[in-house]
Amino acid sequence: MTAYRNCEEKTDEELVKLTLADQEWYLCLMRRYEAKLTRYIRRISGLNDQDLEDVLQDIFIKAYRNLNEFDPDLKFNSWIYRIAHNEVISRYRKLMTRPQLVDGEEGEKMLDLIEDKNDPEEKLDNKLSREKIQNILSQMDLKYREVLALKYLEEKDYKAISDIVKKPIGTVGTLINRAKKQFREIVNKQGTKF
């Protein structure tokens, strides 16, 4: 139980080493990432609370089982997000439904972040309702919803996104641009003006 007092003072990588020697330290990593991963899973999957908890539990179990394979030269943050990415994709394929990415306030935040403030033609109508944003996002391809969530809601840089989705950095940039384009196309198709 002494492990819990010093969690905040340790880096992720230090906690991984400590966990490999004493499994009690893993609780520190779980506590550190529980809220972040819950938010991430909710944004890209639209799972209900019970399914979300199941996926989160599966992520922590897989991460723990594979901790020996973690490369200490990499960031633990990207590694565990990659596991989360794989679990959500796996669950998505099992359910064969179109998950919701974000709702309410988060949808409005994403809308503000993806619009290009330098070009008036790129601005989305600020009066889009929450329901319209949810509708637009639910029509987008999962791979595009995911990169938008990682970039604009999780505030990950291109390198971290590249590590999570296992795509080259250039491909990540392309995916983000295509995601913005798909978002705009759906908005235009629905008759919403820029």
The residues spanned by each domain of the chain are: 2-95, 104-189
Residue 65 has pLDDT above 90, yes or no: yes
CATH topology of domain 104-189: Arc Repressor Mutant, subunit A (1.10.10)
Q: Pick the closest to residue 92 from 131, 145, 39, 154 (CA basis).
A: 145
How many other β-carbons are positioned within 10 Å of the β-carbon of residue 188? Answer: 11
Position 55 scores a pLDDT of 93
Q: pLDDT per residue over 5-64, tens digit each?
A: 688 899 999 999 999 999 999 999 999 999 999 989 888 877 788 889 999 999 999 999
What is 2-95's CATH number? 1.10.1740.10
**Cα–Cα distance for residue pair 78/115, rounded to 1 Å:** 26
* CA separation, residue 153 to residues 38, 108, 145, 164, 177 (Å): 13, 11, 11, 15, 16
- In the block, residue with structure tokens 């944004």: 43
